[in-house]
Copies of this chain bind each other. A is one copy, B any other.
Amino acid sequence: MLHPAWWTIDPCARFQLGPRIFPGRIWTASGCFAYGLTGHDMTSDDVASPYSGLGAVVTKTVTPLPRSGNPMPRLVETPHGALNSIGLENVGFEAFLAEVLPELEERGVPTVVSLAATNPGEFGAMAARLQECAGPLGCWHGVELNLSCPNVAEGGHDFGKDPRTVAQCVAAARSHLPDRALLAKLTPNVADIAGLARAAAEAGADAVSAVNTFVGLEVDLATGKPILPRRFGGYSGPALLPLALAKVDEIVSRTGVPVVGAGGIATAEDALKFFALGAVAVQVGTAQMRDPFTAARIARDLGKQG
């Protein structure tokens, strides 16, 4: 059952994405697994570690300067998903380079570094500095440009909706990253996500990640006001699956650009649906928060050994 006839890939085998060989196709999504586990050792009865079989951990998005994020509450469960307005809390790019990335390398965690910035120049500068500082690292496989986080006031939201801006950001980063995979993470809150994907690919992205969260809102019935102080948050989790599948299908079938799928994946079956549509890899987000072994179990269930 977990290996239907049409399914021939081993997602725990190495595969090439752009200039880089990744150790597998089951990844964790940015913001849902921090910089990998920090401070915790984790065990389970059935999987050796939360990293077993994973192709990459996409790190929490880092920005040029540290950010403390949005006011609380910034994470709300809804019956079928979650709304977050974390606001890109992160240690900042320099601390990330100095402390986080070396530690990921030391622990042997395959890493994709998620970056956000407010203009193409900043993206370029971060990419250049990454290449300069982290060039020799073996576990750093690529960069994902977060062009779509709906929680940042300064431009973040509409930023990634314009294909030209997407292209500029990708081009700026690409020029400094000759030997790493470059991914553009797209917002689904547009009429034409395929257009964004095409723009990203033409500017040099090796793949696009789709999707980031949908704009959502939850009301506190006691007050009649939105629960999140900024009203809107990013909707993620199981409710998203059919929406994310549609966006991925739109990109794959209209553009042929390689897609790393994300949105609502919690089980091997969910992941299979993205692969069925032609996704080259998948990311586990919200479900990884519920259980740090989710992605590793998906890798085990779908792997040839599974």
Contact = CB atoms under 8 A, between A and B. Distances in A.
Interface residues of A, number: 43
Tallying the copies of this chain within the complex gives 2
Contacts of A277: 217, 219, 226
A242 B225 contact: no
A269 B78 CA distance: 13
Interface stretch (A27-35, A65-73, A130-138, A231-239): A231-239
Contacts of A253: 231
B6 A224 contact: yes
Chain A interface, >50% SS class: mixed
B215 A246 contact: yes
Contact of A83 (B235, B238, B242, B250): B242
B223 A249 contact: no
A161 B190 CA distance: 11
B216 A242 contact: yes
A172 interface: no
A214 interface: yes
Nearest to A266: B79
A136 to B, nearest CB: 41
Given A216-B245, A246-B232, A239 B80 contact: yes
A249 B219 CA distance: 10
A221 interface: yes
A79 B270 CA distance: 12
Contacts of A161: 191
A18 interface: no
A272 interface: yes
Contact of A221 (B78, B224, B246, B269): B269
A231 B249 contact: yes
Contact of A224 (B7, B222, B226, B239): B7
A99 B6 CA distance: 49
A239 B272 CA distance: 21
B238 A80 contact: yes
A221 B276 contact: yes
Contacts of A225: 276
A190 B83 CA distance: 20
Nearest to A278: B224
Leading 7 A-B pairs by shortest Cβ distance: A216-B242, A239-B239, A224-B276, A6-B224, A219-B273, A217-B246, A80-B80
Contacts of A239: 80-81, 238-240, 242
